[in-house]
């Protein structure tokens, strides 16, 4: 692939690249010398599940792999014990070592649904950061000032509000920067909210006599609500391990404007062609394209057919789970939905009932004490349970 084509491919769906000319120069030199670039992206294993927001970055890593470059999937098991202060308005709780190790293993398994495992080097930054001496840490801190740290938006906001900032949090960007020094990174990928940390890595590389890395920053992907950054804690996420039908339905629920951002960041589809399509057809194409990436073409087609059957033809899906009501007089709907795993808690069922999102045979349920005997329970738009 020509250099300009490679740059165009890499820049698609990015928020910012620092800087493009330096990227072109590194790619050209790599091609001339036959020496792959060293590309890294760090992931703090603070949660066990990967969703489409993470996939934006993973796809960018995969593009570098496909171009023949060396990719480091860096699991920040050491820095996770410090806690990334990015976007935080208070101290982040520190994770235990056992939690970090458990999350890291899950991350690796899920990441290889996008990355080529044969071309990926998984590294843990505890391998080098845990060996730093007190003198090494002092040397790192000498390359930054308190004024620089407090100029950072999230620190400034907390400082002005008289909220606590730990010295550990000041050290986090320095440790992340040292990762780039240790790995001799030519390119680092990260979300746009990581800009402060990424710029710190460039400055530290120069201070340690290395050429500064190119920064490729990806946008933050809004979740299914179309407003907030995709997050499991906000409930607006689409997990890559979710069933094909659930993933398909969630993708069909996003707004039309957000749909084009998903196309740009999560697919290789021709954007001009997509924008010429009717929005409904385009969204069906998006959902099928993304579901096929994680479940295969066959499952994607089945999910599409099931979706159209339920939502376009107003029919019931074929694969509704069944539950045998044990009591002749019926069981409380709250107990049934929790017992069958259709809802994680009784409070969640109560919330759904208040929202009018629970119905039996098409009739909305408004009473928490409602007893169910038989029929089809519908929860939200995509979940069904047949009572027998």
pLDDT of residue 282: 93
Query: How, if at all, do strands 322-323 and 120-124 pair?
Result: unpaired
What band does 93 get if pLDDT is binned at 50, 70 and 90?
low
Average pLDDT, the chain: 85
In a domain, 226, yes or no: no
Is the pLDDT confidence value at 62 over 90? yes
Q: Both 118 and 213 in a single domain?
A: yes
Average pLDDT over residues 153-164: 77
23 and 69 assigned to the same domain? yes
pLDDT for 22: 93
Cis ω before 19 (30° cut-off from 0): yes
User: Do 109 and 208 reside in the same domain of the chain?
Assistant: yes
CATH of the domain at 193: 3.40.50.620
Residues 275, 161 within the same domain: no
Above 80 in pLDDT, residue 142? yes
Burial class (CB in 10 A: 0-12, 13-18, 19+), 252: buried
Tell which of 177, 203, 218 closes a domain.
218
Please report which residue ranges of the chain form alpha helices under DSSP H. 3-11, 20-33, 52-66, 97-111, 126-129, 134-141, 146-150, 153-160, 167-183, 195-207, 244-252, 256-266, 271-275, 279-295, 297-307, 333-339, 346-354
Q: How many CA atoms lie within 13 A of 145 on its CB side?
A: 3
- How far apart CA 341 and CA 336 sit, in angstroms, is 9
Q: Which of 88, 32, 39 is nearest to 60 (CA)?
A: 39
Q: What is the pTM of this model?
A: 0.76
State CA 228 to chain mean position distance: 13
Give the separation between CA 343 and CA 337, rounded to whole angstroms.
6
326 in the same domain as 253: no
Within a domain: 287: yes
Q: Are residues 102 and 214 in the same domain?
A: yes
pLDDT, residue 311, reads 65
pLDDT for 89 equals 47
How far apart, in whole angstroms, are the C-alpha atoms of residue 310 and residue 378? 11
Instruction: Report yes or no on 329 lying in a domain.
Output: yes
Q: Count up the domains in the chain and report the number.
A: 3
Return the number of other C-beta atoms located less than 10 Å from residue 348's C-beta.
Answer: 16
Residue 230 lies in a domain: no
pLDDT in tens, 249-272: 899 889 888 999 999 999 999 999
Same domain, residue pair 82 and 173: yes
- The last residue of one of the domains, among 280, 312, 344, is 312
Same domain, 82 and 122: yes
Q: What distance in Å separates the CA atoms of residue 286 and residue 264, rounded to the nearest whole number?
A: 10
Of 76-90, 119-133, 280-294, the range with the lowest mean pLDDT is 76-90
Domain that holds residue 341: 322-387
What distances in angstroms separate CA 228 from CA 92, 236, 237, 240, one per listed residue? 20, 8, 10, 19
> Is there a single domain that holds both residue 383 and residue 290?
no
Per-position DSSP letters for 93-120, written without gaps between them: PPPPHHHHHHHHHHHHHHHTTTS-GGGE
Residues 372 and 263 both lie in one domain: no
Summarised one tens digit per residue, pLDDT across range 175-213 is 999 999 999 999 999 999 888 889 999 999 999 999 999
Question: How far are the Cα atoms of 27, 28, 33, 55, 226 from residue 5, in angstroms, in the given order?
Answer: 11, 12, 19, 22, 32
Give the chain's length: 388
Among 218, 236, 260, where does a domain finish? 218
271 and 372 both lie in a single domain: no
**Is position 199 within any domain?**
yes
Inside any domain, residue 234: no
Between 191 and 315, the higher pLDDT residue: 191
Return the CATH number at 380: 3.10.290.10
- 97 lies in some domain: yes
Same domain, 299 and 327: no
């Amino acid at each position: 692939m020509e250099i300009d084509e490679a740059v165009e491919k890499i820049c698609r769906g990015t928020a910012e690249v620092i800087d493009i000319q330096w990227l072109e120069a590194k790619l050209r030199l790599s091609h001339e010398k036959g020496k792959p670039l060293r590309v890294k992206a760090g992931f703090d294993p603070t949660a066990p599940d990967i969703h489409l927001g993470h996939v934006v970055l993973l796809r960018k890593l995969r593009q570098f792999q496909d171009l023949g470059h060396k990719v480091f999937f860096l699991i920040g098991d050491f820095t996770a014990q410090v806690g990334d202060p990015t976007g935080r308005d208070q101290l982040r709780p520190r994770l235990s070592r056992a939690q970090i190790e458990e999350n890291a293993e899950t991350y690796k398994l899920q990441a290889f649904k996008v990355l080529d495992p044969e071309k990926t080097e998984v590294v843990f930054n505890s391998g080098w950061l845990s060996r730093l001496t007190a003198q090494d840490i002092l040397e790192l801190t000498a390359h930054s000032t308190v004024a620089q740290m407090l100029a950072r938006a999230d620190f400034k906001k907390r400082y002005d509000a008289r909220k606590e900032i730990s010295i550990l949090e000041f050290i986090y960007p320095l440790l992340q920067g040292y990762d780039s020094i240790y790995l001799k990174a030519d390119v680092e990928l990260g979300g746009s909210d990581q800009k402060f940390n990424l710029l710190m890595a460039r400055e530290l590389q120069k201070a340690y006599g290395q050429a500064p890395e190119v920064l490729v920053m990806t946008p933050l992907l809004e979740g299914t609500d179309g407003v907030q950054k995709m997050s499991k804690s906000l409930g607006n996420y689409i997990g890559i391990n979710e069933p094909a039908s659930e993933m398909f339905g969630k993708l069909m629920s996003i707004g039309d404007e957000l749909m084009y951002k998903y196309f740009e960041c999560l697919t290789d589809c021709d954007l001009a062609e997509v924008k010429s399509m009717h929005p409904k057809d385009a969204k069906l194409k998006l959902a099928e394209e993304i579901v096929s990436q994680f479940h295969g073409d066959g499952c994607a087609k089945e999910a599409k057919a099931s979706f159209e059957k339920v939502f376009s033809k107003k029919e019931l899906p074929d694969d509704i789970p069944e539950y045998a009501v044990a009591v002749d007089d019926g069981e409380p709907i709250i107990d049934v939905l929790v017992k069958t795993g259709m809802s994680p808690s009784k409070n969640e069922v109560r919330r759904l009932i208040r929202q009018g999102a629970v119905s039996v045979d098409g009739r909305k349920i408004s009473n928490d004490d409602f007893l169910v005997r038989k029929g089809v329970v519908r929860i939200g738009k995509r979940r069904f349970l047949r009572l027998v």
